């Protein structure tokens, strides 16, 4: 049963990772998987896999393993990815465009329904995906009209907090931020940051210890 208050944060992150190979296996027609196998595919320990899943219920069959289809469904349900989400992107530069054209998001239920920019030269342009770039001053209106719940920020860092405030003001409850700066949000708005250079610096650190 879901003792929902006490779930470790890393567990949530791993659940998403578990779903990747499960999807592939399911597509390939596999029916069953052992914690040991899934662990290996994800680079974690088998006990970790079992414990992560056990936080939410008993999804396996002792002595047998996990039914792949059922397990995937459970994980998707836990992560609330068994429904459709509507998102918008603010800042349609190189990264924003790469995001909106990537069909991985769509396939997982993350639907971009509006994209914004403040550059007059970009506003009004229609993208290959069919969306037209809207001016930043329509953010509030369109978020409400289209019922957008997740906002993606891919503006330069200096604009990120201003944009975040605008999104929060418009009722957004979750933000994915690609600008390499921390943005502040009230407690009722979740933020996840993606900063590639931090990852690179991690690599550099490890390389530096060798060479």
Ligand X SMILES: NC(=O)c1ccc[n+]([C@@H]2O[C@H](COP(=O)([O-])OP(=O)(O)OC[C@H]3O[C@@H](n4cnc5c(N)ncnc54)[C@H](O)[C@@H]3O)[C@@H](O)[C@H]2O)c1
Decide whether 78 or 166 has the Cβ nearer to a second copy: 78
Residues 157-196, mask of contacts with DNA (x by CB under 7 A) = ----------------------------------------
> 8 to 27, contacts with DNA by CB under 7 A?
8-11
| Binding-site partner at residue 66 among a second copy, DNA, ligand X, none, CB < 5 to 8 Å by type | DNA
Part in contact with ligand X (CB under 6 A); list of ranges 5-13, 38-46, 64-72, 114-122: 114-122
- The two tokens of residue 79 are 């992560």
d(CA 127, CA 124): 10
CB atoms within 10 A of CB 130: 7
Minimum CB separation from a second copy for residue 202, in Å? 6
Binding residues (CB under 7 A) for DNA: these are 8-11, 34-36, 44-48, 50-51, 53-54, 58-66
């Amino acid at each position: 049963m879901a003792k929902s208050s006490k779930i470790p944060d890393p567990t949530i992150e791993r659940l998403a990772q578990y779903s990747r190979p499960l999807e592939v296996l399911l597509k390939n027609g596999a029916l069953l998987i052992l914690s040991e196998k899934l662990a290996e595919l994800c680079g974690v320990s088998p006990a970790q896999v079992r414990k992560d899943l056990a936080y939410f219920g008993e999804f396996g069959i002792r002595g047998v393993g996990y039914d792949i289809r059922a397990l995937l469904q459970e994980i998707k349900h836990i992560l609330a990815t068994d429904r459709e989400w509507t998102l918008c992107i603010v800042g349609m530069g190189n990264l924003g465009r790469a995001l909106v054209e990537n069909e991985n998001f769509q396939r997982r239920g993350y639907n971009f329904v509006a994209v914004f920019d403040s550059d007059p030269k970009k506003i009004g342009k229609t993208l290959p995906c069919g969306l037209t770039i809207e001016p930043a001053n329509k953010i509030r209106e369109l978020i409400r009209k289209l019922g957008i719940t997740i906002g993606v920020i891919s503006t330069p860092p200096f604009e990120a907090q201003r944009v975040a405030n605008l999104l929060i003001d418009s009722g957004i409850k979750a933000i994915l931020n690609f600008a390499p700066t921390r943005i502040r949000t009230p407690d009722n708005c979740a933020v996840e940051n993606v900063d590639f250079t931090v990852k690179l610096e991690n690599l550099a650190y490890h390389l530096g210890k060798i060479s």
